[in-house]
Structure 1
Amino acid sequence: MVAEGLPTDKMSVWKYTRNQTDPDVRQTMDEFERQLSMLPEDYRTTEDARDSVFHDVVGEDGHGYCRTYGKDVPWSMVYGDKSKSSQSGSQSSIVAEITKQVRTELRKELRDEIREELREKMRTELSTQIQEMKAEMLAIVSHEGSTNHNKQVPDALSGHREPTDYDADENPHTPPPNDEDVIKVSLESSVIPRVQLAEGLLISVDPLCEIDGVPIGPGFCKVFVLKANKPNAVLETTSRCLRTIREAVGRYIVWRSIHVQPF
């Protein structure tokens, strides 16, 4: 085989000395190629790797003879002064290197999968928390005031007194509250299409909360106006001396809860 320029690894010798049309021989060859394809590409062409796969498929060398050469050829004629322990050591080192490389790749894939799972879990939890917060704010604005509708309190529209004189203004211009828990809200019109008339802070939805000495009543909330988006719009609920959104900036006024939306 050497004279013919053919490879002399064990599998090549084994195929050279057998009828490759034989079904058993063909089955052994196919299994050898299958196991060889599972190795990293850089190792497949090395003689040590091919011999290692050969022994896995065909079996280890016997007592005093080598696979592929028959029982009449002693093991020492093939390997010379090398011992079986050196052959086994070479095979073990290849297996160890392959195992190390496979483990490294598996660890990397596992880390990537865990990292992506954590990202997805965090995104889901964050989205859920945001939706819960929005629902809580809407519930505070839209529903809490109506839970006490059986209490006898004046109506927000009819109960507020008409302005008389200006020498005893009960709702003077005041700075915005410093409470960090106050929710910033949009004050919308009652007509359709809805228009954002102003921006403000939600102070209370308690029906007994007062403005100008009169409870706001169920279905209304107390707000502090920060900014007038439609300055000339007329207030739908009147407070002392106030007629337009512009006049309400910097003051506490009453607003229908269903037309108050959190940002």
Structure 2
Amino acid sequence: MSTSSDITEAAARAPRVTDAAPAHGTRLTLRAATLGRPDAPAVTGVDLDVAPGEILTVVGPSGCGKSTLLRTLAGLLAPLDGEAGQDGRPLTGPSADRALVFQEDALLPWRTLRANVELPLAIQGLARADRRRQASDWLARVGVGDRSGQLPHRVSGGQRQRAQLARALAGRPRAVLMDEPFGALDAQTRAGMQDLLVEVLHGTGATVVFVTHDVDEALFLGDRVALLGNGRLTAVREVPRPRDRTARDNPARLALRRDVLSSLGS
């Protein structure tokens, strides 16, 4: 099991996902899209292109449409106007290609951690022995291999989130869509989960869209950060030295942080 210092060091060394990962990720697009429900549009005129293997973080005030954007890319909500696409084709509904991770761990409470992680593998038709082996490997990789036989209510919130991450990645999705997955965790656990996410994503090539309220989290994780506010996508900015803890005081990173906070009215 990796220690927190090992994970942090690995994260700092990790190259940009878009540069280093094999071509496994998928391209997600929105074109002139109005998002929300018919009686309550949340965001209008969205043009967004998420490159294969990119980590895009999304920030904005409460109620600005961050989760609506994520659910549209997941195929759970259709655009009210415009288009949503994946690899140049219309996005018409949910798919095993796109895994969704929530702030609430969403584990099935009657299944052990290992049985939860086995679920997407069972849906793919893997034999019992193969899915048990792969689930056990993923749980060990996220640091809860020794808790694999426990029910969710018997482990901590951080351990449940680790298991949820293992379940999301076990099915080898081409995109992972994350809705404030670490928002309920304390600061120390949250930082450890950020580093763990970087470690386990490295080499998968998966495209990631990560919604957060936390500007520092967005600037640590993202290759780019998308800003939502006032019912629209206001900007998408490149992040200097993503996933590098030593870049926190980098002048370019600090300037971007000030710009993001200003755009949010903070």
Q: What is the TM-score of this pair, normalised by structure 1? A: 0.22
Structure index of larger Rg: 1
Between the two structures, name the one with larger relative contact order (CA 8 Å, sep ≥ 6).
2
